[in-house]
């Protein structure tokens, strides 16, 4: 009889332990799912930057959130001008380059960059290469844009 009570008591403790462990696993899963959904705010975009070490490119993904009075392509253009978040990449344009204007008409996007983009500096690729990479990045992320016209201080950057 005593032995039977001890066995029943042990079984209850084991069941209780299993229930606690299972409950903790479910709780961790719920918290993880909730955190994942919260951190997923914004739209995912890719950014291609030239490597500082070799001639290859480094692809970086970021989530950008919608801002008042700005469309997605404008937010993206501002973000790519800031450069990569990784240290081993070069800038497309000199640090401090600003987006003066950005608008889309049909399938053509018009970008006007500040005159600061004409200056060369350490860790910056050639201007023509920067303009081409900017165009490729935008076309890659925005399928409704077929042509990107880049202006610097109001003047067309490069003729085709």
* Mean pLDDT on 42-58: 90
C-alpha atoms less than 13 angstroms from C-alpha of 110 in its C-beta half-sphere: 10
Average model confidence (pLDDT) for the chain? 86
Please report the pLDDT score of residue 54 as a whole number.
85
The span from the CA of 154 to the CA of 160, in Å, is 17
Please report the pLDDT score of residue 134 as a whole number.
96
Instruction: Report how far apart, in Å, the C-alpha atoms of 63 and of each of 42, 70, 96, 144, 146 are.
Output: 5, 16, 22, 19, 23
The span from the CA of 139 to the CA of 111, in Å, is 13
Please report the pLDDT score of residue 9 as a whole number.
57
Share of the chain above pLDDT 70, in %: 88
- Residues 63-79: pLDDT tens digits? 898 888 788 999 999 99
- Residues 4-43: pLDDT tens digits? 555 555 566 677 777 888 888 888 988 887 777 776 678 8
- Residues 127-148: pLDDT tens digits? 999 999 999 999 999 999 999 9
Please report the pLDDT score of residue 49 as a whole number.
94
- Between residues 110 and 12, which one has the greater pLDDT? 110
- Between residues 98 and 70, which one has the greater pLDDT? 98
């Amino acid at each position: 009889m005593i032995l039977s009570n001890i066995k029943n008591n042990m079984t209850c403790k084991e069941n209780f332990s299993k229930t606690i462990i299972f409950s903790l696993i479910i709780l961790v899963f719920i918290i993880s799912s909730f955190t994942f959904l919260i951190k997923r705010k914004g739209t995912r975009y890719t950014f291609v930057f030239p490597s500082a070490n070799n001639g290859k490119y480094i692809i970086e993904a970021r989530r950008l959130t919608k801002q008042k009075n700005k469309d997605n392509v404008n937010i993206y253009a501002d973000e790519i001008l800031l450069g990569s978040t990784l240290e081993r990449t070069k800038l497309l344009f000199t640090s401090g380059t600003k987006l003066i204007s950005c608008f889309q008409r049909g399938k053509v996007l018009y970008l006007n960059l500040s005159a600061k983009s004409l200056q060369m500096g350490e860790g910056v690729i050639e201007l023509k290469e920067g303009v081409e990479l900017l165009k490729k990045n935008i076309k890659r992320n925005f399928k409704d844009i077929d042509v990107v016209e880049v202006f610097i201080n109001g003047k067309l950057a490069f003729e085709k």
